[in-house]
Amino acid sequence: MPYDHRKTAPRTLALALALAGCCAALAGCGASQASEDSPAAGKGGTQTPPPAVNATPATPTAPGASATPATTAPSSSGSPSGSGQQESRSLAGRTVVVDPGHNPGNFRHSREINAKVDIGTARKECDTTGTSTNGTASEAAYTEAAFTLDVSHRLRDLLTARGAKVVLTHDADRPWGPCIDERAAIGNAARADAVVSVHADGSAVGHRGFHVILPARVSSGAADTGAIVGPSRELGKNIADHFARATGTAPANYLAGGTGLDVRKDLGGLNLSTVPKVFVECGNMRDPKDAALLTSAAWRQKAARGMADGIATYLNG
């Protein structure tokens, strides 16, 4: 137990020195670290809580607050002082746009999200509802829109803790959308140093793992990705590397030859971007093993940390 300095002082110099050394050793043991499994911000909007979340969600972020750097979020290294503080400001002056895929309200606005918009190479639906896990009689399905918003909150908090300005394309603060062309426009208007669109896949059972979608070289109508193909690939490679390390999961076993990097030209969010941008498909919600990870709050925190580390490596590279 700690030495009580209020008791009678020792009468010999040797005993005093010994006790003083003991006190000095004990004095440094009071620091504590915040749990990595507890996000600094909870879920927002009308989304359904995931079936396997143990942490109690905090009050949802108010609309418009997503661009304000958090001042109380934990350091990215988990250390309250020293090198942790230096690392936590490593993205000062940088702007990152985080795009939570889909919207929990899209299910109630099929007419609006089915309206076609120009994606440069074609016309495509404004947005979709996204996928979900397979629900059971005792457990509701966990929607992709709920997943992406939760991970995006965690990612925002990790990035703002490092000094970045973070803009969310939405925070479930609107009834549906935004459309895919508007999502691209938000990143462009912010002059973002990097944009990451958070998603989860809906493939067949047995298809497991994550992948990062990169923009193809497109020059058609409103789309011209020539300037962002190279930087986006570097951003995607860094995120894939750190995501695998942080989560312990492997690249998808069902596409892109197992590289974890998939190039596409049919996504308006990439085609219309003028700043480096990637999509991260964190796993397959339709596979029960992947679904067990995606519904875990602890794993979602690891996924957000992997993305944050990848973004930071890219921006500081």
CATH at 223: 3.40.630.40
pLDDT reading at 213 higher than 70: yes
> pLDDT value at position 287?
98
Amino acid at site 126: C
268 in any annotated domain: yes
Domain ranges, residue 127: 94-316
Question: Which residue has better confidence, 40 or 130?
Answer: 130
28 in any annotated domain: no
Provide the greatest CA pair distance for the chain: 89
59 in any annotated domain: no
For the CA atoms of the chain, what is the radius of gyration? 23
Tokens of 114: 């089915």
Q: Which helix (H) or strand (E) holds 123?
A: strand 123-125
Total domain count, the chain: 1
**pTM for the full predicted model:** 0.74
Cβ neighbours around 240 below 10 Å, total: 23
> pLDDT value at position 317?
87
49 in any annotated domain: no
The residues annotated as belonging to the active site are 281
pLDDT reading at 90 higher than 80: yes
Nearest to 155 by CA among 243, 233, 228, 220: 243
Distances in Å between the Cα of 202 and the Cα atoms of 14, 81, 144, 196, 250 are: 71, 42, 9, 19, 17
Residue 87's pLDDT band (cuts 50, 70, 90): low
119 in any annotated domain: yes
CA 308, 67, 187, 43 torsion-angle sign: positive
Angle, helices 144-161/297-316, rounded to nearest 10 degrees: 50
pLDDT reading at 185 higher than 70: yes
> pLDDT value at position 53?
34
5 in any annotated domain: no
Query: Would you give the end-to-end CA distance of the chain in angstroms?
Result: 47
13 in any annotated domain: no
Nearest to 143 by CA among 131, 135, 127: 131
The stretch 95-116 carries a mean pLDDT of: 98
